[in-house]
Structure 1
Amino acid sequence: MSDVLKLEAPLGDVIRKSKLKAIKSIVSSFQPINNDKIEFKNNEHSDKNISLDKIQIVANRFITIKRLGSGGFGEVYLAKDKNQNDLLIAIKFENINTSRPQLSIEKYVFEIMYECSYIPKMFYFGIHNEYTVLAMDLLGPSVEDLLNFCGRKFSLKTICMIMEQILRGIEALHNHSLVHRDLKPDNFLFGLGMKSHIVHLIDFGLCKNYRHPLTYEHILYRTGKTLTGTARYCSLYTHHGLEQSRRDDIECLSYIIIYLAKGFLPWMSIKNSNRKKRNEKLMEIK
């Protein structure tokens, strides 16, 4: 199916053919920005399971339709917005008693990045019964979905088209004093409808300020940090336990480019039930 892209068909046409995966691609995980004391590894899940056994009406506006999936924050549901002619949106539920609240950090990122076209839009944030909820754009398939749809390999032109948008989104994030720390193809989602050609950045759970947002004073150099993010794509500095900064996001992108061009990375075949040993071998190959 990669021939479709090599023939230089419009990217939007290919994306529209894979809309059946759109609903399943909105899942993401979340964690506080100020996380010096709490580090998540490989997208650990919330310690509070959520099960909504009936339709929920949130803020007398959003009506849940069905569960889409789960992430580190809790669970995400498909819903419709009565204030926008029953527009389909995604709404996330996080137990208010969780020991690691994360949706408030997601809210912060959405608010400061509201002008960026590569970041989803937030419609609502508040409390519903025993849950913190956040309503946002419903997005389409991920770059990983599209890679699978196209035979696990992109043409150079397609990679350039996708990466140009990703770089603009990451640049905007960095300009707002944030580093993502968990960049991967699953966290880049195409929009729906008129936005099906736009690549959106998601999953801000591991975001962190690399500098003070007002004074621009850079964070201190630190060692002995745990591996934060996804080992497959994280930087060598991260493997060595150094504090992450902008350079680490950029190194992640370099591995992603290779992955999209080849369909695999040399260290993907490593199998070891011991996570530490597996990551050490992965670092050695990098």
Structure 2
Amino acid sequence: MRTRADWVYATRIPKGKVVGRRWRIIRKLGEGGFGAVYKVEEIVTNELAALKAEANNKRGNVLRIEAKILHRLEGKPHVAQLIQTGKKDSYSYIVMTLLGDSLDKVLRRIGRVCSISSQIRIGIQVLFGLKQLHDAGFIHRDVKPGNLALGFHSTEQSRFIHILDFGLAREYIVVDTDGKTKMRRPRPNVRFRGTLRYCSADVQERCEQGRMDDLWCLLYIMVELRGPLPWANFQTLNYYLRPDYLLLYHVLEKIMVVNGIKFSDPFDWENDELQCKFCHFLPSALWSSQQKTESSDEVQDLLSTDTECSMESIEENLFPEEVFALDQYGF
């Protein structure tokens, strides 16, 4: 079993120590319950890389899954490459391509929402990465900005998004006795895996995760690139939770303001009704140019009159904020 001492060894490899007779520790990049990630350099070539160390566990470890996935993705574009694996008395490690900042860190640094241009390109790159992962036979099960990273800043991959941290990934394909590849049967009851903020409704219901659940995560990430998710401030999602109606209203109101939308704007079906009202004014090829001009003027008058009437009869503030903010029952 993994012990506290093993975890300490994995998270406190000293600066300057050489691991695997090849990689010198430069500094620790981060740590978690599994162990730690270090920036390392090759002692001969000075090549930079990332080393992930994890305390040993007799029942298996996360790094074994990561190494298996990276091995299957070997040679694929825009994927961190597995360089070396090893095992010490107290911890195991893998050495892989050094990546840059996480998408989460980048977004916090710029301190604002992304442009549509950045949003769409990020979406396509993550979709590409997920397709490769799924083709390798795995579901990520924890796609989020913190698990997406740019390539290292001094490399040609610095403008590409990479998927990382496969510790919660699960293989969804198996090879049966006759050598045929098939999908694993979904389990009827599963433990929660992922990040509540980005996971799908099925995952919240403790359903087995499939490829589509990774794509739901991507969808929520893309929404968040343009503004906060409506449930971003929710700590729990349960029967007793009072929804933050005012927050949801502000999200929708902001979309209206940015796009210049007014409550008095005609709905799509109202536009259709207006078209029906003046459809008999549509010019015929047999009409004279004077008749066409007169007909066009009548159409413009009709549209102008109806629009002005609509604008005057509908108030802009039909949905006051105090109604959304009111907590009538206190729960």
TM over 0.5: yes
Aligned to 1:280: 238
Aligned to 1:274: none
Distance of 2:225 and 2:82 partners within structure 1: 29
Question: Which residues of 2 match residues 184-203 of structure 1 at below 5 A?
Answer: 184-192=144-152, 193=154, 194-203=156-165
Asked whether the equivalents of residues 27 and 38 of structure 2 are also in contact (C-alpha less than 8 Å), the reply is yes
Structure 1 residues 56 and 97: alpha-carbon distance in aligned structure 2, compared to 1, 3 A threshold: farther
Distance of 2:166 and 2:58 partners within structure 1: 18
Counterpart residue identity of residue 155, structure 1: S
Structure 1 residues 187 and 55: alpha-carbon distance in aligned structure 2, compared to 1, 3 A threshold: same
Aligned to 2:49: 89
Secondary structure at 1:68 match in 2: strand
Per the normalisation by structure 1, the TM-score is: 0.75
Aligned to 2:109: 149
Counterpart residue identity of residue 195, structure 2: T
Aligned to 1:259: 224
2:165 is the counterpart of 1:206: no
Aligned to 1:70: 31
Structure 1 residues 171 and 283: alpha-carbon distance in aligned structure 2, compared to 1, 3 A threshold: farther
Distance of 2:130 and 2:64 partners within structure 1: 21
Distance of 1:282 and 1:140 partners within structure 2: 41
Structure 1 residues 237 and 79: alpha-carbon distance in aligned structure 2, compared to 1, 3 A threshold: same
Aligned to 1:56: 17
Question: Which residues of 2 match residues 1-286 of structure 1 at below 5 A?
Answer: 48-49=7-8, 50-53=11-14, 55-83=16-44, 85-97=45-57, 101-192=61-152, 193=154, 194-212=156-174, 215-262=180-227, 264-271=228-235, 278-280=236-238
Q: CA deviation at 1:260?
A: 0.8
Asked whether the equivalents of residues 47 and 99 of structure 1 are also in contact (C-alpha less than 8 Å), the reply is no
What stretches of structure 2 of length at least 5 have no aligned partner?
249-331
Give % identity.
31
Secondary structure at 2:220 match in 1: helix
Greater helix percent: which structure? Answer: 2
Distance of 2:241 and 2:215 partners within structure 1: 17
Aligned to 1:20: none
Q: CA deviation at 1:100?
A: 5.2
Distance of 2:5 and 2:207 partners within structure 1: 26
Supply the RMSD in Å over aligned alpha carbons: 2.6
Q: CA deviation at 1:119?
A: 1.7
Distance of 1:185 and 1:47 partners within structure 2: 29
Count the aligned residue pairs. 234
Counterpart residue identity of residue 218, structure 1: M
Distance of 2:26 and 2:215 partners within structure 1: 38
Q: CA deviation at 1:129?
A: 4.4
Q: CA deviation at 1:158?
A: 0.5
Structure 1 residues 134 and 211: alpha-carbon distance in aligned structure 2, compared to 1, 3 A threshold: same
1:135-158: per-residue Cα shift (whole Å, max 9, x none)? 111111111122122223001110
Asked whether the equivalents of residues 29 and 39 of structure 2 are also in contact (C-alpha less than 8 Å), the reply is yes
What stretches of structure 1 of length at least 5 have no aligned partner?
1-44, 272-277
Per the normalisation by structure 2, the TM-score is: 0.65
Counterpart residue identity of residue 166, structure 1: V
- The structure with the largest alpha-carbon Rg is 2
